[in-house]
Amino acid sequence: MMETQSPLRLLTPHDGEPWDIDGYLAGGGYDAWRRVVRDRDPGRVIDELKLAGLRGRGGAGFPTGVKWDKVARHRVTERYFVCNAGEHEPGTVKDRYLIQHHPHRLIEGCCIAALTVGAGESYIYLNAEFLDARDSLARAMEQARARGLLGKNVLGSGADLDLKIFDGHGSYVAGEETAMLESMQGRPAQPKEKPPFYPTDFGLHGKPTLVNNVETLSHVPLILRHGAAWFRDVGTERSPGTMLFSVSGAVNRPGVYERPLGTSLRRIIEECGGGVPDGRSIKAVFPGGPSFAMVGPDDLDLPMDFDALKQAGTGLGSAGVMVVDDATCMVAHTLALSTFFRKESCGQCPSCRIGTEHLETLVANIEEGHGTQGDLDKLLQICGFVKGTGYCTLVTGAAVLVQSSLRLFRHEFEAHVAQRACPFPFRPAAEPAVAVG
């Protein structure tokens, strides 16, 4: 069972069923939407988001106001809006949690986004495996329609604005925005080359499309209701506000926790995750999910914000904090994640298709005791070849994983080679030890 603490803004406690609209309205819910419909001033909404400094919570940390501005000002007037609720990355569960337990805030954020950029059609691309979240969202949308907040002639304004759930039978890559848009048009979920195919210019049906993450959009009604200064009250100068951290792996309390950006990794693990179980210690942590470099126990005081982690050679991603304890064989762990990347590669870019296969095969050889010292150099060579290639960052993630594992735990790889076997009594299961659900 996931445990969830509600200390701050997005995860405010709610009474009754999560999809119940009355509790949301009583707490000021849909006030921001009413104001946006009344004022019809997209520039004001965008300015407030820029002042707040909201950055995308889907992985890249791109400034939300800048993205909205680009779509809202586009010379092409046929535009679309898509909320990205793919969330297929191991260890990240925050979006499905928000949809299931706070659907009205997401609906309000989506409505504001769609109207602000002038979208003619709006979708929530939802991972079809999230049945409870879908149920909650569909009921909440019905309630919003029944109150005139969504659908035809919204709030008596004469404008029509509805949201459709698009069932995404996705994969990890299908969460990448251009791949997601491809799959929504009935084509294989394969990323497109950027530039030129940024969704803000060339999205759904070749038209400007605003794509935002669930958590990003859920912050929007709160920013408009309470103001940019309120949002900036916590967090750091360049990474303001709070973020949802999905904490998993070797912790006592895996779950979704909201904390200000800039909170140290140590506090996230100890205060939120309850520390490492069974008296064990931390061997490594992935601060931003499997696609960003892992760090060692000496780096636990790193502030969890977009820029500090980038400077430290890793990244925040969508804040899926995965903790690895000292009972884990790092070669076996690296293998489990390399297998994940190989399976999830869409196969479109040769460097990714071949690179992820080679990395997995070499790591598997070493783990099984057939590796040589030369394989360690070969691994690094392949990482160098494939890093930064491809139409998305999947193969870069696969390379960064191996590089950071070799940088921190080369001695473990060497021990496998020297002993011609895995020298560790404990090995993780075939899949990475992360809580998903």
Q: Applying CB under 6 A, which of residues 211, 324, 376, 402 lies at the interface with ligand FMN?
A: 211
The answer to the question of residue 86 lying near ligand FMN (CB under 6 A) is yes
Of the pair 275, 397, the CB lying nearest ligand FMN is at: 397
56 binding ligand FMN? (CB under 6 A): yes
Q: Which of 98, 330 has the CB closer to ligand FMN?
A: 98
Quick check: 423 and 348 in contact, CB under 8 A? no
Q: How far is the CB of 114 from ligand FMN (least distance, A)?
A: 14
Instruction: Give yes or no for residue 351 binding ligand FMN (CB under 6 A).
Output: no
Place of tokens 């071949």: 354
Please give the residues from 110 up to 149 whose contact with ligand FMN meets the rule CB under 6 A.
Answer: none
- 3-state SS record for 166-179: EEECCCCHHHCHHH
**Nearest CA-CA partner of 367 in 419, 301, 297, 432:** 419
Instruction: Rule CB under 6 A: choose which of 143, 200, 209, 216 binds ligand FMN.
Output: 216
Q: Which residue of 18, 29, 42, 58 would you call a contact of ligand FMN, by CB under 6 A?
A: 58
Residue of 110, 117, 173, 335 that binds ligand FMN (CB under 6 A): 173
Neighbours of 370 (CB within 10 A): 13
Distance of CA 314 to the CA centre of its chain: 15
Contact flag: residue 175 with ligand FMN (CB under 6 A):
yes
**Under DSSP, is residue 249 helix (H, G, I), strand (E, B) or coil?**
strand
CB-based contact 232:244 (threshold 8 Å): no
Q: Residue 79 corresponds to which tokens in the numbers above? A: 């535009």
Paired tokens of 231 = 């949002």
End-to-end CA distance of the chain: 8
Q: Which is nearer to ligand FMN, 213 or 404 (CB)?
A: 213
Q: Is 386 in the site for ligand FMN (CB under 6 A)?
A: no
Could you give the residue ranges of the DSSP H alpha helices within 280-386?
306-311, 330-344, 350-367, 373-386
Neighbour-count burial for 218-245, b at 16+ CB within 10 Å, e otherwise: bbbbbbbbeebeebbebbbeebbbbbbb
By the rule CB under 6 A, 36 interacts with ligand FMN: no
Q: Is 260 in the site for ligand FMN (CB under 6 A)?
A: no
Q: Which is nearer to ligand FMN, 276 or 392 (CB)?
A: 392
Q: Retrieve residue 232's tokens.
A: 């900036």
User: Closest distance between ligand FMN and the C-beta of residue 402, in Å?
Assistant: 17
How many amino acids of this chain bind ligand FMN (CB under 6 A)?
22
Stretch that binds ligand FMN, among 96-104, 206-214, 308-316, 372-380 (CB under 6 A): 206-214
Closest CB 16 distance from ligand FMN, rounded Å? 28
Our finding on whether 396 is near ligand FMN (CB under 6 A) is: no
Question: Looking at the DSSP assignment, which residues form a beta bridge with residue 127?
Answer: 168
96 scored as a contact of ligand FMN (CB under 6 A) = no
Name the CA dihedral angle for 221, 223, 224, 229, rounded to a multiple of 10 degrees. 170
Regarding 189 and contact with ligand FMN (CB under 6 A), the answer is no
* Closest approach of ligand FMN to the CB of residue 84, in Å: 4
E-only strand ranges, 20-120: 80-85
Q: Can residue 367 be called a binding residue for ligand FMN (CB under 6 A)? A: no
For residue 418, the minimal CB distance to ligand FMN (Å) is 36
Type and span of the H or E element at 324: strand 320-325
Helix, strand, coil percent content, the chain, rounded in steps of 5:
45, 15, 40
User: Does 387 sit near ligand FMN (CB under 6 A)?
Assistant: no
Q: Which CB sits closer to ligand FMN, 56 or 315?
A: 56
**Of 177, 186, 182, which is closest to residue 71 (Cα–Cα)?**
177
- Our finding on whether 332 is near ligand FMN (CB under 6 A) is no
CA distance 152 to 136: 22
User: Does residue number 392 form part of the binding site for ligand FMN (CB under 6 A)?
Assistant: yes
Give the whole-angstrom CA distance, residue 156 versus residue 261: 39
CB of 392 to ligand FMN, least distance (A): 4
Only segment of 9-17, 54-62, 250-258, 294-302 that touches ligand FMN (CB under 6 A): 54-62
For position 172 contacting ligand FMN by CB under 6 A, the verdict is yes
**d(C-alpha 151, C-alpha 107), whole Å:** 12
Please, what is the minimum distance in Å from the beta carbon of residue 290 to ligand FMN?
Answer: 10
Integer Cα distance of 85 and 244 in angstroms = 15
Candidates 37-45, 209-217, 321-329, 423-431; binding stretch for ligand FMN (CB under 6 A): 209-217
Coil, helix or strand at residue 236 = coil
Going by their DSSP bridges, the two strands 255-260 and 242-249 should be labelled as antiparallel
Per CB under 6 A, residues contacting ligand FMN are 56-60, 62, 84, 86-88, 172-173, 175-177, 211-213, 216, 392-394
